[in-house]
Amino acid sequence: AQSVAQPEDQVNVAEGNPLTVKCTYSVSGNPYLFWYVQYPNRGLQFLLKYITGDNLVKGSYGFEAEFNKSQTSFHLKKPSALVSDSALYFCAVRDINSNYQLIWGAGTKLIIKP
Amino acid sequence: NAGVTQTPKFQVLKTGQSMTLQCAQDMNHNSMYWYRQDPGMGLRLIYYSASEGTTDKGEVPNGYNVSRLNKREFSLRLESAAPSQTSVYFCASSERYRSYEQYFGPGTRLTVT
């Protein structure tokens, strides 16, 4: 079965330090992978996607993600965290065997401390 | 350009009551979706409409019905609300069903007592 795992419920990072939010996936074919961010009391916003090509994908707000096929991972990264990056982050994978529906991870709460 | 709008923002229902959540998008998107978000469970797809005139069940359709009123509007109806339907409901849209990005509304926080 297709699945997405975000192994950390919460990640704490000091402002200015690099951050990583982890995501691993399981799909039967080629993965289409996404990261979304949710600020408090708001809907989700698209950050970036991996479809094909370069394993390092750049997205909005200085975020990037690295696709690693051998480790079936798609970790979200940022070189220098800002307090305003504090939010809930969701990883998702497209399930081409289930009519292209998105399968969502449970979310990781990112807290950036000043 | 408002994007995806949802009404109401908040609602409290008693068990057995009915209500309709409204969603509209002004991006001329073909596909629309209803999700529910529960703590620790991410988003779960309730229903979707790949194009105007079609609707299909998602992962958790029981207890819900939908109507794709026109290209802009996609409503979600709870006929007889249950406490298990207490959740935050999000509407989303995308250019096509197989588009990569979905655009979300601000959500409706529903409590069923």
Percentage of chain A modeled with pLDDT above 70: 97
- Identify the pLDDT of residue A99: 67
The model's confidence at residue A98, banded by pLDDT at 50, 70 and 90, is low
Whether the pLDDT of residue A87 is over 80: the answer is: yes
Position B15 scores a pLDDT of 98
Residues B86-100 have pLDDT tens digits of 999 999 999 876 676
Helical H runs in A1-114? none
Nearest-angstrom CA–CA distance, B35 and B60: 9
Residue-wise pLDDT for A50-64, tens only, equals 988 899 999 999 999
Please say if the pLDDT value at position A21 is more than 80: yes
Quick check: A9 and B40 CB within 8 A?
A: yes
Query: B94: helix, coil or strand?
Result: strand
Report whether pLDDT(A5) > 70.
yes
Interface probe, candidates B37, B90, B93, chain A, greatest A C-beta count within 10 A: B37
pLDDT at A112: 97
> What string of H, E and C letters represents the secondary structure of B5-55?
EEECCEEEECCCCCEEEEEEECCCCCEEEEEEECCCCCEEEEEEECCCCCC
- Partners of B43 on chain A (C-beta within 8 Å) are 44, 90, 102, 104
Tell me what the pLDDT averaged over chain B comes to.
Answer: 93
Distance (Å, rounded) from C-alpha A86 to C-alpha A40? Answer: 9
Residue identified by tokens 């001329």 is B28
Percent of chain B with pLDDT over 70: 96
